[in-house]
Structure 1
Amino acid sequence: MNVNGWIIYNGHLSGNKFLDFAEWFHEAAQKQGIETNLYKNNDLLTYLDDRRLSLIGGNSLPDFVIFTDKDIYLARQLELLGIRVFNPANAIAISDDKIATYQVLAQHHLPIPKTIAAPKIFPGSATVELENIRSIIDQLGFPMIIKEAFGSFGEQVYLVHTEKEMMDKVREIQERPFVFQEFIAASSGKDMRLQVVGDHVVAAMTRYASNDFRANVTAGGTMEAYQPSAIERKIAVAATKAIGADFAGVDLLFGPDHTPIICEINSNAHIRNMYDCTHINAADFIIRYISETLTNEGRS
Structure 2
Amino acid sequence: MNLYGWIIYNGYLPGDKFLDFAQWIQHAAAKQGIETTIYRNSDILNLLSSESLTLLSAQKFTWPDFVVFADKDIYLATQLELMGLQVFNSAKAIAASDDKIASYQLLAANKLPVPKTVIAPKAFHQLNYNPIDDYSEAIRILGYPMIVKEAFGSFGEQVYLIHTKDELAEIIQQLQGRPFMLQEFIAESAGKDVRLQVVGNKVVAAMARYSENDFRANVTTGGKMQFYQPTSAEEQIAVAASKTLGTDFAGVDILHGANDKPIICEINSNAHIRNIFDCTGVDVGDYIITYIQTALK
If the TM-score is normalised by the length of the shorter chain, which range does it land in? over 0.9
Other-structure match for 2:53: 53
- The within-5 A match list for 1:202-241 is 202-241=204-243
Other-structure match for 2:11: 11
Query: What letter is aligned with 1:44?
Result: I
Q: Look up the SS of the partner of 1:253 in the other structure.
A: strand
Other-structure match for 1:152: 154
Length-normalised TM-score, structure 2: 0.98
- The within-5 A match list for 1:187-266 is 187-266=189-268
Which of residues 140, 143, 149 in structure 1 aligns to 2:145?
143
Ranges in structure 2 where 5+ consecutive residues have no aligned partner:
none
Q: How far 1:126 moved relative to its partner? A: 1.1
Q: In the aligned structure 2, how far is the partner of 1:127 from the partner of 1:32?
A: 59
Conserved 8 A contact 2:112-2:237:
yes
Ranges in structure 1 where 5+ consecutive residues have no aligned partner:
296-300
Query: What letter is aligned with 2:181?
Result: V
Other-structure match for 2:29: 29
Conserved 8 A contact 2:101-2:119:
yes
Q: In the aligned structure 1, how far is the partner of 2:135 from the partner of 2:61?
A: 55
Q: CA RMSD in A?
A: 0.9
Q: How far 1:124 moved relative to its partner? A: 3.5
4+ residue segments displaced more than 3 Å: none
Which of residues 141, 162, 165 in structure 1 aligns to 2:164?
162
Which of residues 273, 277, 280 in structure 2 aligns to 1:278?
280
Q: Look up the SS of the partner of 1:109 in the other structure.
A: coil
Q: Look up the SS of the partner of 1:142 in the other structure.
A: coil
121-130 or 269-278: bigger deviation: 121-130
Question: How many pairs does the alignment contain?
Answer: 295
Other-structure match for 1:105: 107
Query: What letter is aligned with 1:286?
Result: I
Query: What letter is aligned with 2:15?
Result: G
Other-structure match for 2:94: 92
Q: Look up the SS of the partner of 1:132 in the other structure.
A: helix
Q: In the aligned structure 1, how far is the partner of 2:22 from the partner of 2:251?
A: 16
Conserved 8 A contact 2:132-2:172:
no
Length-normalised TM-score, structure 1: 0.97
Query: What letter is aligned with 1:235?
Result: I
Query: What letter is aligned with 1:42?
Result: S
Q: In the aligned structure 2, how far is the partner of 1:292 from the partner of 1:185?
A: 42
